[in-house]
Amino acid sequence: MMKYLKNGMISFAISAFSGLFVNLFIDLIIGLNGVEDYISMSPDYRGLFPTPVIGAYVNVLLYGLIGFTFSTMTFIYDMEKISFLVQSLIYFVVTATVCMAITVLLWQLHKYPAAFATTIAGYAATHIIMFTIEYRRLKKDIQEINEAAVMSVSK
């Protein structure tokens, strides 16, 4: 479990830094184009905090939490007594819950039902694609293992 927590902390740092860097880049580009006092957070989200700076810090921490969750939840794939489909469903439910909760908060998606629905659909589609690719890879690996076992038995 320590391996997953260590990877989670590394992913937290990478995600938080990446989120900070992307927001800084967006703010810088927009600022260079003459827009003053622009902050790359929704006004509704900024309004949840006493100052925009606190909102920005929380924003960065939330980016890190997403990375931490995605990384640490990979422990589920090492549980051999659970089928790959069930592992994938558990991973999807947990990561979707955390990611969508943060996304709803940051982008205030509860105020925009169409955006909320398309975000969920995009997230689900991404996981379906990831599951399909991984399932095919695992199926190929199993086939190669079985072929190697047949070859070693026939010798």
Any idea where the domains of the chain sit in the sequence?
2-115
pLDDT tens readout for residues 12-68: 999 999 999 998 898 899 989 988 878 888 888 889 999 988 998 999 999 999 999
* pTM of the model as a whole: 0.80
The closest alpha carbon to 66, from 107, 96, 21, belongs to 96
